A and B are shown apart, each in its own frame.
Chain A
Amino acid sequence: MVVEDDAAVLETVQLMLGDRYDIIPATNGEEAVRKYKMFKPEVVLMDVMMPVMDGVEATKEIKKIDPQAKIIGLTAYARKKGKELLEAGALEVIEKPFTRKQLIEVIEKYLK
């Protein structure tokens, strides 16, 4: 599942990974929590700064539903928000901008 409020970034990620994985998109934290309950995705790529519910809050909620959930942070605000995301339960954080290779490597690491 890719959680991102910026439509261009969401589209980019879908284009980068769409040929390898089934992608569930979500545009804010609340939608992400709802969709996680429905689809139980194997990996979640989570943006931090989003409307309605931010990435830190959504990570905490998902971890409450499934403590085993594998969440990877995507952030431009890595130094401060990245830290908060890790504290909320994310496995690691990738800084924007990122390459396809970077994304695949990290996803594969947690799919094993």
Chain B
Amino acid sequence: MESKLIERVLENWFKEVSSDFPPELRDDIRKRIKGYITAILSGEDPESVVEKVDEEFIERMIRESGSRPEDVIRRMELLAKELSKHKEFEVVAENFAKFVLAFLKKMLRVYERLLSEEAESRRRVERVLRVLGRTNQAITRIGDEKELLKEVCRIIVEEGGYAYVWVGYAEEDKSVRVVATAGKGDYAHAIKVTWDYGDTGQGPTGMAIRTGKAYVVRDIEKDGSFEVWKEEALKRGFRSSVSLPLRVNGKVTGALNIYASEKDAFDEEELSLLEELADSISYAIYSLRSRKKREELEKLYELTVENTGTAILVIESERIIFANKKAEELSGFSRNELMGKPFTILLPEKDRNEILKIHKLRLAKPELAPNEYEIKYADRHGRVGYAIVTASVIPGTKRVVVSLIDITQRKDLEKKLRESEERYKAIFEKSPLGIVLSSVDMTILDCNDAVLKMVGMRKEDVIGRKWTELNIFDPDKLAELMREFYRGLSGEFKEMDLEIKVDGNVRYLRVFPVLLKKEGIPYAFVNILEDVTDKKIAETQLKDALERIQILRSIDLGIIEGKNIRDLLSDLVKALKQKVGCDILAIRVLGDNGFTVSYPEIGESMVKSVDAEKEVVVNLLEKDSLSEFEVELLKAGMVRYAIIPLVARGDKLGVILAASRESKEKDVEFLRMIAGQLAIAVHEALLFEAKRKAYEQIEQNIEQFAILVDHIRNPLAAAQGFVEIYVDNEEAKTKIKEQLDRIVELVEQLEKGWVKSEAISEYLRRERENRGDGIEQT
């Protein structure tokens, strides 16, 4: 058949069938049919022609034109009919019939496949729809977010038939936290998923969270993005997955992750429904969270209103429409009793009109009504109290919210405080003790008259000034005073005596400081001052007297113990130097055996000329000419000295020298007081020493005497022996013996004397010992 003829046949045929196809398919179909017919007419095997027809084209034809097999048969019949009008067709009629049959077979195959795919798709859509329906039911039923997600997961697996599902929330640290799962195998907890740009953040979940779009993995085995979790997923039989973002309030907060056992399990329609499911879940989460927040807020409001410690009323049309618990307590009425009552029942009758006027003014011209004012209120028993009222109109309404702070107790306290203050003020002002209130920086805030009397100042000269600025303290002692003060701040402040100078006179104040603290932080001092000047002077005098006695006693004891007078005075100068506070103290004992003791030791040459008939006190800096001794003193750095003679029973026994580096007067008075007694003590000590020496001499004499007697007896014994042996003449023997006996008698008399001397010596020694013992025991 000629091409033109075929063209004409097809022209006629297409007129009949073209309307079956959408315009964009028509040309293609016509061209293809022409090709097939030409091939058949040219003797090509019809089956091989059909073989070449691609299934995609058939699929398009079925899908886009809605062609069914019977439509194809009808069209082919029409084509056959058209072809049969031409004789040329007869030769290939059989081949054409074979082509139609083969084409139909192929088309049926495609058609059935499409039908099955459609059914599968519908099945899937149905299951998602079922999941959606059940999920929506769960959303309306379950009020807890976690419970809901758990139930949704269960529905997706059990109702939807998916293999596994989990919900993960995107955390701040970029990790994904598992919040619910369903399906076999604890997959979600076995893997690590993040939503950062690391390896574990590049999978479907991480992508869905980051991009906010659904992410489908059609083949887990082959998809590179699933590499990290592939092994775990395949082990559990998962073949494809989808991760759907969950949005709360416009922000992606997590992902719903669904896994299927088949590859490519999620087609577009299903995916779209799953996205809808994710949106429903997102909205449910949002609603639950909002509701929870709202409930919490409501609870908070309620708690605030009930626990604010303030009575709160809402008034509308002059009647109470709301009252909190505190309002019940304040009024003595229950909430139910208050509801609907005019608010004026809470006011004393005589105040009602005025408050009502303010209330009306507030509603009419809120800017003119006072917002806060003090009122008297009356409770159900008619008891009157005080309250601070704050009132304002609720915007857009005629309602007024009123809060009342009960200040009855405060008022009472204020009254009591006022009374107490008055009492304390009287104590403060009339107290014979000084009372000073000072801040922690030592500024004097207040003080009473007693203080002013002590420091000899007027109040205006004292208040607002610092203690240290009053010029009453010795500048040398200020540093120590400040140290004490700072010790006081750390809580170590103790009672202390302060030396002050008022009009050139030294006075002593005993201070009892009390540190005032607020919440553990010191903020002021209350100092109680007592003028202890008289007490202090008496104490000093007593102390001096005691020290004098002690020093004199030490001299006495030394004498009694038989201490060498030089040692005794050496100890004494040390004690005296310390007491007097001078830099050199020396005692010079005059006489043949005179000596000097000093502390610290000074050269003998320096003191040998120290002497004075009367007491002298010399300031070297004021002298025009200096003696040799004074030059020596000056060389040693001394500028002032005093010499006090030691006179006992009219005899001058020695002198005391006290020298100091400072020209300030030292305690020479003490030396003066002690000098007389010291002189007597020195006198006695010297006497005692002389006696001691005399005793020693006596003892020595006795010893010598005894030896002498012994020495006499030896030749006597020899002489007597020799007479007995050698003298034969009895008369001569008798006469010699008589003379020897006389000598023996004399010796014995001497011995008797010696015995007496020894007894006296023994008696004196015993007496000396007894005296010493006796004094030590006192």
Mark A residues whose CB is within 8 Å of B: 6, 8-9, 11-13, 15-16, 49, 74-77, 79-80, 95-100
Q: Quick one: which of B738-767 are within 8 Å of A by CB? A: 740, 744, 751, 755
Q: Name 12 A/B residue pairs within 8 A (Cβ), A-sorted.
A: A6-B714, A15-B722, A15-B725, A16-B725, A75-B710, A76-B713, A95-B713, A96-B713, A97-B713, A97-B716, A99-B720, A100-B724
> Is B715 in the interface zone, CB < 8 Å from A?
yes
Q: Quick one: which of B696-724 are within 8 Å of A by CB? A: 706-707, 709-722, 724
Contacts of B721 in A (CB 8 A): 9, 12-13, 15-16, 97, 100
CA distance A98 to B719 in the complex (A): 10
CA distance A11 to B724 in the complex (A): 13
Asked whether B751 lies within 8 Å of A97 as measured between CB atoms, the reply is no
Q: Which of A6, A49, A97 contacts B744 (CB 8 A)?
A: A97
Contacts of A6 in B (CB 8 A): 714-715, 718
Asked whether A9 lies within 8 Å of B724 as measured between CB atoms, the reply is no
Please give the distance in Å from B639's CB to the nearest CB on chain A.
64
Please give the distance in Å from A100's CB to the nearest CB on chain B.
6
CA distance A8 to B722 in the complex (A): 9
Contacts of A95 in B (CB 8 A): 713
Contacts of B710 in A (CB 8 A): 49, 75-77
User: Are A9 and B720 also in contact (CB < 8 A) when A16-B725, A49-B710 are?
Assistant: no
Please give the distance in Å from B540's CB to the nearest CB on chain A.
59
CA distance A3 to B249 in the complex (A): 136
Q: Which 3 A-B pairs have the closest CB atoms?
A: A12-B721, A76-B713, A8-B718
Please give the distance in Å from B716's CB to the nearest CB on chain A.
4
**Category for how many chain B residues contact A:** 20 to 34
Chain A residue nearest in CB terms to B751:
A79
CA distance A6 to B721 in the complex (A): 13
Interface of B is mostly: helix
Additional pairs, 11, CB under 8 Å, beyond known A15-B722, A76-B717, A97-B721: A8-B715, A9-B721, A12-B718, A13-B721, A76-B714, A77-B709, A79-B755, A96-B714, A97-B717, A97-B720, A100-B724
CA distance A8 to B719 in the complex (A): 8
Asked whether B719 lies within 8 Å of A76 as measured between CB atoms, the reply is no
User: Are A96 and B707 also in contact (CB < 8 A) when A15-B725, A76-B712 are?
Assistant: no
CA distance A99 to B717 in the complex (A): 8
Contacts of A13 in B (CB 8 A): 721
| Contact mask for chain B residues 718-738; partner A; CB cutoff 8 A; 1 contact, 0 none | 111110110000000000000
Contacts of B713 in A (CB 8 A): 76, 95-97
CA distance A49 to B712 in the complex (A): 13
Interface hub of A13, A15, A74 (most chain B Cβ within 10 A)? A15
Contacts of B711 in A (CB 8 A): 76
Asked whether A98 lies within 8 Å of B717 as measured between CB atoms, the reply is yes
Contacts of A77 in B (CB 8 A): 706, 709-710
CA distance A16 to B711 in the complex (A): 21
Asked whether B718 lies within 8 Å of A11 as measured between CB atoms, the reply is yes
CA distance A96 to B710 in the complex (A): 9
CA distance A80 to B712 in the complex (A): 16
CA distance A89 to B68 in the complex (A): 163
Please give the distance in Å from A103's CB to the nearest CB on chain B.
9
Q: Which of B706, B725, B744, B755 contacts A12 (CB 8 A)?
A: B725
Contacts of A76 in B (CB 8 A): 709-714, 717
CA distance A12 to B710 in the complex (A): 17
Please give the distance in Å from B470's CB to the nearest CB on chain A.
82
CA distance A79 to B751 in the complex (A): 9
Please give the distance in Å from A73's CB to the nearest CB on chain B.
13
CA distance A49 to B707 in the complex (A): 9
Chain A residue nearest in CB terms to B758:
A80
CA distance A15 to B725 in the complex (A): 7
Chain B residue nearest in CB terms to A18:
B725
Interface hub of A74, A76, A77 (most chain B Cβ within 10 A)? A76
User: Are A9 and B717 also in contact (CB < 8 A) when A76-B709, A77-B706, A77-B710 are?
Assistant: yes
Q: Which of A12, A49, A74, A79 contacts B722 (CB 8 A)?
A: A12
Chain A residue nearest in CB terms to B712:
A76
Chain B residue nearest in CB terms to A16:
B721
Asked whether A9 lies within 8 Å of B718 as measured between CB atoms, the reply is yes
Contacts of B720 in A (CB 8 A): 12, 97-99
Please give the distance in Å from B79's CB to the nearest CB on chain A.
168
Please give the distance in Å from A19's CB to the nearest CB on chain B.
10
Interface hub of A16, A79, A96, A98 (most chain B Cβ within 10 A)? A96
Asked whether B706 lies within 8 Å of A80 as measured between CB atoms, the reply is yes
Please give the distance in Å from B711's CB to the nearest CB on chain A.
8
Interface hub of B706, B711, B713, B715 (most chain A Cβ within 10 A)? B713
Please give the distance in Å from B705's CB to the nearest CB on chain A.
11
Chain A residue nearest in CB terms to B747:
A76
Contacts of A75 in B (CB 8 A): 710
Asked whether A99 lies within 8 Å of B740 as measured between CB atoms, the reply is no
Contacts of A74 in B (CB 8 A): 717
Contacts of A100 in B (CB 8 A): 721, 724-725
Please give the distance in Å from A74's CB to the nearest CB on chain B.
8
CA distance A77 to B706 in the complex (A): 7
Please give the distance in Å from A88's CB to the nearest CB on chain B.
18
Please give the distance in Å from B724's CB to the nearest CB on chain A.
6
Contacts of A12 in B (CB 8 A): 717-718, 720-722, 725
Please give the distance in Å from A70's CB to the nearest CB on chain B.
21
Chain B residue nearest in CB terms to A100:
B724
Chain B residue nearest in CB terms to A4:
B714
Contacts of A98 in B (CB 8 A): 717, 720
Asked whether A96 lies within 8 Å of B717 as measured between CB atoms, the reply is yes
User: Are A96 and B706 also in contact (CB < 8 A) when A12-B722, A16-B725 are?
Assistant: no
Contacts of B714 in A (CB 8 A): 6, 8-9, 76, 96
Please give the distance in Å from B241's CB to the nearest CB on chain A.
120
Q: Quick one: which of B642-684 are within 8 Å of A by CB? A: none
Chain A residue nearest in CB terms to B725:
A15
Contacts of A8 in B (CB 8 A): 714-715, 718, 722
Chain A residue nearest in CB terms to B719:
A97
Contacts of B725 in A (CB 8 A): 12, 15-16, 100
Please give the distance in Å from A49's CB to the nearest CB on chain B.
6
